[in-house]
Structure formats: structure tokens, C-alpha cells
Amino acid sequence: MHQNQVEFEVYGDYALFSDIVTRAGGEKCSYQIPTYEAIKGVLHSIYWKPTIIWIVDEVRVMNQIQMETKGVRPIRYAEAKNDLSYYTYLKNCRYQVKAHFIFNENRPELEADRNENKHHNIAKRAIKKGGRRDVYLGTRECQAYVEPRVFGEGEGFYDNVPLQTFGRMYHGITYPDEAYSETTKGNLTVRFWDAEMKNGVISFPMPLQCTGTYEKVIKKYGNVKTFGVEEHNFVVEEEEGK
């Protein structure tokens, strides 16, 4: 157990952890289970600063996996009319989450902010309040809610199912300022993993474990923009006077 570990439950009527294979034609179909990146997004909505990187340890699927297809009209920005597409959502979703954070070693300019106790306590208070920003499961239209919960508490639908596999699945994105190897340094990298669930619990590999054929560079960025007091903090009165 990590000293800065947090545990909570996130739930909502719908979720859309879209399978990237289905998006090319303009329609979306959800994975059966949450992606690492989607849960990391929930953690960012609860509490985030560039000083820390959230690591998702485990997710427990509490409700039965069910899907529902809806007809939607996405906006066509190139023309003054709409399309009709079908999106397949997960419904009646409830997940327990266990996660911890590490300090972002790629942000040396924020070293003075590396106070583990401070960030941990703020995160726990934010969970009790339901998050600092709007929480959603996968996509913006899938509103969700967060509350404190001990991981493993209560009865889950898949508690007695020893193993379920979901094949190779999108894991997440490594951004240039979160680089952990020479492959990811200065690059935008997408990660994959062979997903499985044991007794309702998904144990995610850490991003640095998704190497070789499990990661692919999709854009080269080079140098990462730095944070700093002089560059990014301004006196309000001076700004208003300009």
C-alpha cells in the first residue's frame, strides 16, 4: 500500500470508453471496461497539479456490464447540417478505484511544491466534496459522481468470476512532460495492454511497463514548456491596466 493512496467510488448512468477502432467511421462503441486514461481523467477532475502524476492501481467493477445504443446527431463543422450516428454506451456504471500519485520528475521547476502530505490531504478532501471539476466517465456527456469508499467494500457482480479477458486494449497516453524512458522523452506516445479482470478487479500495469509493441510514438514534440513564477504569474492590477 502506498502512503499517498486514495480510494473512492465513481458512478454514473452511462459511460463511453470509446474503442479507437470504431471511431474512424464517425460512430463510437465503448470498451466493456474503463481505460486507464479515463480513470486518470476522473482523478484529474478530483484534484490535479503539474507537480504530480496520478497512477491508477486497480479498478473494481461493481455492476453488471451492460450496453445501450443511442442515435445521436454529431455536429458537422465542415457543412451547415448534422449527421446521424450510433453511439454504444455502457449503462448503470459503478466502479471502485484505488490510486496513488508520484512526483513529476520532468518538472524540476516545481520541486519546491513536492509536499506529499499536502497533496494527499487535498486529494482526500476533494474526494469528499465530489471533486474539484465536473466528473465524467469517458466522454463529456456521461456525467458521473464521486464519493469516498474503501476499495473492496460491498458486493460486486463479478466477485466470483475468476478471470475474464478483453484482448489488447488502449491503455492511455504518455505526454511529453510525463516521459519515463528514451522512447517517450519529448514525444506523445500511445500505450496498449492485454486487458483482463480477476474476480471483478482490473489491475492496471504502470505506464512504464507498457513497452515494446505496447507503445507507439504518435507525435514528436521536442522540448517541453516549463512552468515558472516569472512567466506564468501576473499581478491582476497590472494586467487590467494594459
**What confidence tens digit (pLDDT) does each residue in 94-113 have?**
999 999 999 998 888 889 99
pLDDT of residue 231: 54
Band (pLDDT 50/70/90 cuts) for residue 73 is: confident
Query: Element (H or E) spanning 93, and its range?
Result: strand 85-103
CB atoms within 10 A of CB 107: 20
pLDDT of residue 228: 64
pLDDT of residue 60: 98
Tell me the domains of the chain and their CATH numbers.
6-231 (3.30.70.2660)
pLDDT of residue 236: 43
pLDDT of residue 83: 76
**pTM reported for the whole predicted model:** 0.88
**What confidence tens digit (pLDDT) does each residue in 49-60 have?**
999 999 999 999
Give the integer Cα–Cα distance in Å for 49 and 63: 31
Looking at the chain, the whole-number percentage of residues with pLDDT higher than 90 is 64
Q: Rounded to 5, what percent of the chain is helix, strand, coil?
A: 20, 40, 40
Burial 167-184 (b: 16+ CB within 10 A, else e): eebbbbebebbbbbeeeb
CB atoms within 10 A of CB 37: 18
